[in-house]
Amino acid sequence: MTRVLVIDNASTDGSERAALDHAHVELLRMERNLGFAEANNLGVLRLDDCEWIALLNPDAFAEPRWLEALMAAAASCSDDVASFASCQKLADTPPRRGSRSTPSPVPATMRSRSSPPTLESW
């Protein structure tokens, strides 16, 4: 199952309306702008039934097969890998010679050892 959650961080650009125009999109509205990280943390708490969560900045333009490549990288790694990151480039920056185009795994040892927050603790 695939879920799409749009986190509206008290925006005024019409993104709330755009999200509501798609029946398959869930919307999480913030009363005030909490900042990118805190709003994403609250969104992730809503997705506790998901095995994988992909975050995308609102001003990012994902390559057509971005998520497919990220999932393929995840499937090819051992259980000691906890998260993946994509290469972020400026839209007007040409690719560099020798740059990686596949996601890079982050070892599980980099995971936080503290217990995760709950919606009630926010």
Tokens of 16: 């709330």
Tokens of 28: 């999480």
Cα separation, 99 vs 56, in Å, equals 21
What pLDDT band is residue 91 in, cutting at 50, 70 and 90? confident
> Is the model's pLDDT at 22 over the cut of 80?
yes
Average pLDDT along the chain: 78
pLDDT at 97: 62
Which residue would you say has higher pLDDT here, 91 or 60? Answer: 60
Cα separation, 80 vs 109, in Å, equals 8
**Which helix (H) or strand (E) is 74 found in, with range?**
helix 66-75
Tokens of 33: 């702008």
